[in-house]
Amino acid sequence: MIHVIAIITAKPGKREEILTAFRANMPAVHAEQGCIEYGPAIDAEGIGRFQTPFGPDTFLVIEKWESPEALKAHAAAPHMAEYAAKTKDLIASRVIHVLSPAG
């Protein structure tokens, strides 16, 4: 299994616009072979001082894929190219971590 944590920071005030496009793309991603989990997450409210928030312009994408090949196919999927084209001018930064289970 492969885990992916993508940290997406929108240009100021544009997070919800990106999330709208993201949510519209989710059914196509969930239908991909090898997709186990794929969804957005934002800072939880009221957790307390021990939390380190990402802030109002950032969201994470939490993903699990059956294999590296499934992840590579996802990255090359036409619907992902369409999503990237729709959102590229709204994104300030994007950091993607691809991880293997540690044990």
- 22 inside domain: yes
The single-letter DSSP state of residue 46 is S
For 29, the domain range is 2-44+68-99
Q: What percent of the chain has pLDDT over 70?
A: 100
How many structural domains is the chain composed of?
A: 1
Whether residue 58 is contained in a domain is answered as: no
Helix (H) or strand (E) holding 18: helix 15-30
DSSP 11: S
The CATH number covering residue 22 comes to: 3.30.70.100
pTM value is 0.93
Is residue 50 assigned to a domain?
A: no
pLDDT in tens, 28-73: 999 999 999 999 999 999 998 999 999 999 999 999 999 999 999 9
